[in-house]
Chain A
């Protein structure tokens, strides 16, 4: 009795003391423990050196982002925030603080477009409840090394979580529902793990589209129109999808009426589709539990059968080398739809199959074909692998570096890419020749930087230079030094 009382007391104390929550720095390389075993190589953490900015109810998260510098952590306390937050900086972490079940909630009131837009690298967004946006819950455009986790997202419009053009990312432990396209949509990305998410009441649960090296594991996809999807969508600038693993997922009862926007690609997907592979190559399905999907458990199609879109001569339309390993499948195909229904009638069956394939594609294999009710996979050979245990993650060992050039190269790019519009080495363009600048500022790069920030018109016969203070500090230093070492 005493022990219980003490633990209640301690627990209470803990709950009240919200400051005891340990911030997780964005610089930390996340270590995950999957069912496939730990990956000690990923457990590298570097010290957190940034500042912590706090946002309380009534405050503005965007203001905190505006003030934040790379490496900072923004902690958001419970309250309702109606904002469109954009993060065009690198290494910014946004962390919701949940207190006694009260979440910091981003509410778009069906008026705002997107809750989070980020373009920076190394962005972390976690512990937010996001509701009632019109576009996306979280959308990334080209940010690499992203971590999006522990978010609770309800009806945020077209997509729930949508990293686009990103490399090396993690999407995990999110719960999403009521999304009119894909709840989680990995679009034109590379090296992304999608783990431990629950997606339901949406048109598409988790969609991997025109992306490579993605691991989709331990997710629960239920009551969507379709559960898990690996797509090539034609007409996009990145043309391929391959090296995708769907492993250890529950794909159950995905029979929701399709409420996709007219014209969207997913609006044509028949309800009751467990897993849909369209034109994607090298997709491995392993240890998934796929049941109660009324159209079919697994559907594999080419672009001719699957996509009602303009043909793209650069998109290879066939799903090649699909590998179906051990999966638990039952009770699928109770109410097949459309083309599938018609095809099954020709087989004198009113039921859809566990596995259905139609159209082109070669090199696909399956571990134990006889376990399932199938249609269209007679040409599938026996699988040559048994499992994918050796693959614990598709994320990279090292984060993608934000910049690929040295200081000297940055100086060169700035000089020729910006300064050369007005300055040539020996001749007068608009500004003075570069050799004149060299003569004035010999061994004095700071002088050049100072002039770039605060130009003062020194010559009557030249127009005043506009301030070049928009260049980053690194670029200014680099170009000042580059100018002084330039030889013709």
Chain B
């Protein structure tokens, strides 16, 4: 009997050890599995015969009265950056979330552009490497495919140009073009993925900077938010908004509040620089904004008009995040033209900045309306595993 018992225990141990090894094997296998890039376009895009993802949305049904894509409810959008392959978009997604892009391996694009915070970071002004306090707040990335001016001061005209700012700023991601390329080329998983995303290149060829820029651009240009309840209303379903929200829409586009004059549908930005005289946080000097890149005194204190899509997700507001809530941000416009301009400054304030004397109720209705601009139905997935964490190829 004892012998029998022993045998059973022994068999059990062998089997269970086998089982455990297998378990470990699968885990290890998962870690080492080569990542494959998605061969389908993300939502909002149709794959064409050349494996390119073309942007598709209901605004494309409307005729185009003007190229900038500004107007009313049923107005076509401006042309989008699209035509990237599914693989390039997916590679961009991995890069976007990978802190290996920074010099200390701790900061990724997503550090300041967090999907769950409207691709911003919830901070008044962002925090860079080693907790370095940055000057301005992180703009949302939703619908950047349509934007012609990037950065708060509008100093970049393309996503490729824009991303080189944070990537190579000593206080943000701290990298250099050489450093970035060197790091990526030492990671076999990235070499493998870049070969997938750029199939025309020789497999042994090194990863190039322009490929990094293109992939990150492709991913960011895939962040589309055009299916909010507001959009349902705009396309003709008038029950999509309740009475308070419709009243808010009417205040928004009225010529008293004048919100829609600069935050023009359908993107809710007219993509211009405007000097509106927003205050800085206490103790901070006036941010010259667009004056610097455009070398133009009359643009002193001017900033790009931000889109209001998903605005509810991206508090606090303004280039320096001085407004904690939407109500506070709207309150700024109601306090009168130039009320926050420092006494020693003479700014060329925008003509739409006036004294609208909005009632409390109107402000509340505006907030109601702004909440209807939320749509995150095309939220991308955060990678479960990053190429830089993959040890080697199996």
| Interfacial residues, chain A to chain B (CB-CB below 8 A) | 66, 84, 86, 88-89, 113-114, 117, 119-121, 134-136, 139-144, 157-159, 162, 164-167, 188, 190, 233, 235-238, 261-265, 308-313, 400-405, 409-410, 412-418, 420-422, 424-425, 427, 429, 469-472, 475
Contacts and interface: CB of A to CB of B under 8 A. Distances in A.
Interface string B9-49: 00000000000000000000000000000001001111000
B351 A263 contact: yes
A144 B298 CA distance: 35
A483 B387 CA distance: 36
Interface string B267-286: 00011111100000000000
Size range of the chain B interface in the assembly: 35 or more
A108 B234 CA distance: 26
Given A142-B65, A188-B66, A237-B272, A309 B351 contact: yes
Contacts of B75: 142, 165
B354 A261 contact: yes
Given A418-B227, A421-B378, A403 B72 contact: no
A412 B63 contact: no
B227 A165 contact: no
Nearest to B239: A470
Contacts of B377: 421-422
B46 A235 contact: no
A356 B48 CA distance: 58
B238 A264 contact: no
Contact of A141 (B62, B260, B273): B260
B328 to A, nearest CB: 22
B349 A113 contact: no
B253 A310 contact: no
A263 B339 CA distance: 13
A235 B255 CA distance: 18
Contacts of B40: 424-425, 427
A144 B260 contact: no
B227 A417 contact: yes
29 contacts: A113-B256, A114-B255, A117-B254, A121-B74, A139-B254, A140-B72, A158-B255, A159-B255, A237-B271, A238-B70, A263-B351, A263-B353, A263-B354, A264-B351, A310-B275, A310-B298, A310-B348, A401-B63, A403-B63, A404-B63, A409-B60, A413-B61, A415-B56, A416-B45, A417-B57, A421-B43, A424-B40, A472-B236, A475-B235
Contacts of A119: 72-74
B216 interface: no
A403 B270 CA distance: 22
B329 interface: no
B61 A420 contact: no
Residue among A238, A308, A422 facing the most chain B CB atoms (10 A cut-off): A238
Contacts of A427: 40
B56 A416 contact: yes
Contact of A165 (B56, B72, B237, B257): B72
A189 B237 CA distance: 27
Given A165-B75, A400-B65, A404-B62, A416 B354 contact: no
A421 to B, nearest CB: 4
Contacts of A405: 60-61
B9 to A, nearest CB: 41
Contacts of B256: 113-114, 134-135, 157-158
Interface string B244-269: 00100111011111001000110000
B2 interface: no
Contacts of A402: 62-63, 74
Nearest to B297: A311
A139 B251 CA distance: 13
A162 B272 contact: no
